[in-house]
């Protein structure tokens, strides 16, 4: 290990400054090109988990030629162990709305949509009130941007951007093939920028304090801060804003209960890090210099030694089996067979070597499934089975 990581707390996102009118004016006084440059030089990457550079996304959408474009805020936060977006929309919704207007201004869109998951229906009334106030102000200053809230109805897969478009269009939330990418053909086949709630909130920070302030935090390839949703066996579950690039060891030192056996980074679709790898694993987007790096949408679940990793995997697979949209065979059949498979090994109906066969099945899913759901089952499955093999068998 070359680099030494440490845990650095930050406080940008939830700092309630209520200065959005001022920031909005500042944004609208710059040219779209300046704003794009600001975002690109901040090296902000998408905070939903996939990590696509946000500045580039806005740039491509700005260059797309169309009479109508959309800005969509993805608030279909469904990954097990993630709850940061709800908190942002509850506590600082105006930051997200300001960022949506900024994005609309940059790419030339007049319509914004927030796709809010059905489970968060209880946020709706407050959110609509804030939007009403916000739109009133926009009209005052002569902006014609509108923001609508569209409610989901309970489907994890709708967090996948193209499935989300299908759902917005009134259909089953089944992912589309990519390309074409949303920036050229998204909602209604028109150029669309779709950003996670947290990503939008970070752009507010960047436009307010400048790209340098953001860039100076974190490590190479993983700049800035990130919200972490901490849950499981920890004395202090909750949401924490931390600089990217810390090691899992440092994280556990801060949040563990002294008996942490493993940490699930990135929810059910992420990877499990066992104790022996805490030192060598960093939290951030991977790059040449950073060794093993795990990207995350912010879900950090801690397990102590009283937990059976078999039960954990069983719970994840049950989740995937239910949430798989059923459109493509590798995912639909794969998720079911994995669950049947580990149960059979546990009962002793299948030999331990059958686990290797199941790992190969997840590899097949990784290559052949249509979207991130089926592809990422391999992450948690292989990291759990490889590190806790004996718990799967006995």
Partner 1 sequence: MSPIQILIKELADQYGRRRECLLPVMQGVIERENYLSEYSIVEIAREMDLPAAEVYGTATFYSFMEVKPMGRFVIRICKTITCSMKGKNQVLFAIQDMLKIKVGETSADGRFTLLQTNCLGLCHKAPAMLINHTPFTNLTPEKVRDVLSDFMKK
By CB under 8 A, is residue 119 in contact with partner 1? yes
By CB under 8 A, is residue 374 in contact with partner 1? no
Query: Which of 79, 160, 161, 250 is close enough to bind partner 1 by CB under 8 A?
Result: 79
Query: Which of 100, 107, 168, 201 is close enough to bind partner 1 by CB under 8 A?
Result: 168
Min dist CB 47 to partner 1, Å, is 15
Are the CB atoms for 262 and 276 separated by under 8 Å? no
Specify the DSSP element, H or E, that contains 227: strand 225-232
Q: DSSP assignment, residue 45? A: B
Query: Which of 13, 230, 248, 365 is close enough to bind partner 1 by CB under 8 A?
Result: 230
Spatial separation of the C-alpha atoms in residues 201 and 103, rounded to whole Å: 12
By CB under 8 A, is residue 173 in contact with partner 1? yes
The SS3 of residue 58 is helix
Beta-bridge partners for 223: 218
Residues in 15-44 that interact with partner 1 by CB under 8 A = none
Are the CB atoms for 314 and 286 separated by under 8 Å? no
Beta-bridge partners for 14: none
Closer residue to partner 1, CB minimum distance, 156 or 221 = 156
Beta-bridge partners for 195: 73
Whose tokens are 């049947």? That residue is 340
By CB under 8 A, is residue 251 in contact with partner 1? no
Closer residue to partner 1, CB minimum distance, 327 or 382 = 327
By CB under 8 A, is residue 257 in contact with partner 1? no
By CB under 8 A, is residue 170 in contact with partner 1? yes
Q: DSSP assignment, residue 71? A: E
Query: Which of 110, 275, 307, 346 is close enough to bind partner 1 by CB under 8 A?
Result: 307
By CB under 8 A, is residue 381 in contact with partner 1? no
Specify the DSSP element, H or E, that contains 223: strand 222-223
Q: In the numeric block, which tokens belong to residue 183?
A: 């920036």
Bond into 180 cis (ω within 30):
yes
Query: Which of 167, 195, 293, 376 is close enough to bind partner 1 by CB under 8 A?
Result: 167
Chain residues in the site for partner 1 (CB under 8 A): 77-83, 85-86, 117-122, 150-156, 167-174, 188, 229-233, 237-239, 264, 268, 301, 303, 307, 311-312, 315-316, 318-319, 322-323, 325
């Amino acid at each position: 290990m070359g680099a030494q990581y440490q845990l650095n707390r930050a406080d940008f996102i939830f700092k309630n400054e209520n200065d959005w009118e001022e920031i909005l004016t500042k944004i609208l006084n710059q040219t779209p090109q300046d704003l794009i440059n600001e975002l690109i030089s901040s090296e902000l990457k998408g905070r939903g988990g996939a990590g696509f550079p946000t500045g580039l996304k806005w740039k491509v959408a700005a260059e797309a030629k169309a009479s109508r474009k959309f800005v969509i805020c993805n608030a279909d936060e469904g990954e097990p162990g993630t709850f940061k977006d709800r908190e942002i929309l509850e506590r600082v919704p105006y930051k997200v709305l300001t960022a949506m207007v900024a994005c609309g201004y940059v790419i030339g869109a007049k319509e914004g949509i927030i796709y809010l998951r059905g489970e968060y229906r209880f946020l709706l009334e407050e959110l609509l009130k804030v939007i009403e106030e916000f739109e009133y102000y926009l009209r005052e200053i002569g902006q014609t941007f509108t923001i609508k809230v569209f409610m989901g109805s309970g489907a994890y897969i709708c967090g996948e951007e193209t499935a989300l478009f299908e759902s917005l269009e009134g259909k089953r939330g089944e992912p589309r093939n990519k390309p074409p990418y949303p920036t050229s053909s998204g909602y209604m086949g028109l150029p669309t920028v779709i950003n996670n709630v947290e990503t939008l909130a970070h752009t507010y920070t960047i436009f307010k304090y400048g790209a340098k302030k953001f860039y100076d935090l974190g490590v190479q390839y993983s700049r800035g801060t990130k919200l972490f949703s901490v849950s499981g066996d920890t004395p202090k579950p909750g949401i924490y804003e931390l600089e990217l690039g810390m090691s899992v060891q440092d994280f556990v030192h801060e949040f563990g209960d002294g008996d942490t056996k493993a940490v699930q980074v990135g929810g059910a679709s992420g990877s499990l890090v066992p104790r022996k790898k805490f030192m060598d694993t960093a939290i951030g987007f991977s790059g040449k210099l950073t060794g093993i790096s795990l990207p995350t949408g912010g879900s950090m679940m801690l397990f102590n030694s009283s937990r059976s990793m078999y039960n954990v995997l069983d719970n994840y697979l049950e989740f995937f089996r239910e949430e798989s949209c059923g459109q493509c065979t590798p995912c639909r059949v794969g998720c079911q067979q994995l669950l049947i498979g580990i149960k059979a090994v546990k009962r002793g109906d299948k030999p331990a070597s059958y686990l290797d066969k199941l790992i190969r099945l997840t590899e097949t899913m990784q290559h052949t499934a249509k979207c991130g759901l089926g592809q990422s089952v391999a992450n948690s499955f292989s990291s759990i089975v490889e590190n806790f093999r004996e718990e799967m068998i006995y």
